[in-house]
Amino acid sequence: MSSTETQYLSAFIQQLNDSGIQIWHQQGELRFRAPVGALRDEWRETLKRRKQDVLKHLEKVARDQAASWFRAWQPRHEPRQRLICLAHAGGAASFFREWGNMLPQDIEVVSVQYPGREERIEELLIDDLPRLIAQLANALVCMPQWLDRPYALFGHSMGGAVAHELCLALRERGLPLPTHLLVSACEAPSRRKDERFHLVSDAALQDEISRLGGASADFVSSSELIELVLPVIRSDYQLIETYRPDPDRIPLDMPITALTGDDYGELDPADARAWCEETTHAFQHLEFTGGHFYLIGQRRAVLSEIDGLIRSTHDAGNSTA
C-alpha cells in the first residue's frame, strides 16, 4: 500500500472517529459501532468498496502500536493470574510501578499506558472514550497473551470508567472477560455528573487538580512541568466529561467491587454503591481512610484487599469449573 493510500485511509478513519463511529477489525472481519444517523451514505459506500484496504490498514496500525499499550514492571514466569490496571485522568502506567512488588509472586501486574505520556509522549492524546476503548481493545486482539489466563481489571477514577467500558467492548468482541472488575473513586455510569473542567482556564484547572491531590497535583505546581502536564490532564478531562454511557447497556456477569476513600468530596457514597446496577453477580463497596487519592496513603491495605478479592474469585471459578 502506497504512502498516499495510507494517508488517505488514516484521514478517513479519523473522520469516522471524530463523528463518534468506532471501527475495528476482529478475526479478519471489519466491525463498527455508530450512533444513529452518524454513518453517512458515502462513508458506508467507502467502507464497502474499500473493505479489504481498511482491514489491512487497521491491522497494521494495531500491530505497530499494540505493545506500547502495556507495561509489566515486574514480569512473572507463568503467573496464576493478572491484575490489569488503568490510571486516572493525567495519570500513566508508572502510577502502578510498585504494585507488583507488593503482591504475591503468582500475580502479575500489567499497567495500561495511554497515548501522549511518558514513553508515548510523541503520540497524539485521545480525548474521546469510545475511541480510546476501540484502540485498547484492538491492542488486546493483537496481544492475546495478556488475556491468556484469569485476570482482574482495576481502574482508578477515570480509569474506572475505562475499565468498565473495556469490559463491555471485550464482551462484544467475544474476548476473554475479567474475573473481577474493581473500580476506584469512580461514580457508576448511572450517576455521571455534568462537569466541564476541560473548558475552564488553566488556572482553574490547576486549582481543581490541586484540590484532588495525588501526583498530578505535584506536577501542576511545578512551573517547569506545567506546560507538559496540563494538556494531558485537560484532554483526559474532556474524555471523561464528554463520556455518555449507553443507556441500553447490559449488566456484566462478573463481581464488581467499588473502592473509595471515606472523605468523599464530590463523590457521594451512593455514586459508588450504584455500581451494583452494572452486574448480575456479587457487588461490594470497600472504604479506606482518605480522599480521592486514598490508595496512595493506603496502598498496602488496598493491595491486601485486592489480593484477597481476585484470589477468592479465581478459586471460586476453579471450584465451579
Boundaries of CATH 1.10.10 in the chain?
A: 3-65
Q: How many CA atoms lie within 13 A of 13 on its CB side?
A: 26
**Residues noted as catalytic:** 157
pLDDT band at 321 (very low <50, low <70, confident <90, very high): very low
- Could you read off the pLDDT of 121-168 as tens digits, one per residue? 988 899 989 989 988 998 998 899 999 999 999 999 999 999 999 999
Q: What are phi and psi of 181, to 5 degrees?
A: -110, 125
- Could you read off the pLDDT of 72-115 as tens digits, one per residue? 999 999 999 999 999 999 999 999 999 999 999 999 999 999 99
Boundaries of CATH 3.40.50.1820 in the chain?
A: 72-320
Contact call for residues 180 and 257 (beta carbons, < 8 A): yes
pTM, to two decimals:
0.82
Sign for the pseudo-dihedral over CA of 198, 200, 204, 206: positive
Q: Return the CATH number of 3-65, one of 3.40.1710, 1.10.3470, 1.10.10, 3.30.300.
A: 1.10.10
CATH number of 72-320: 3.40.50.1820
Contact call for residues 269 and 260 (beta carbons, < 8 A): yes
Determine which helix (DSSP H) or strand (DSSP E) holds 59, and give its type and residue range. helix 51-66
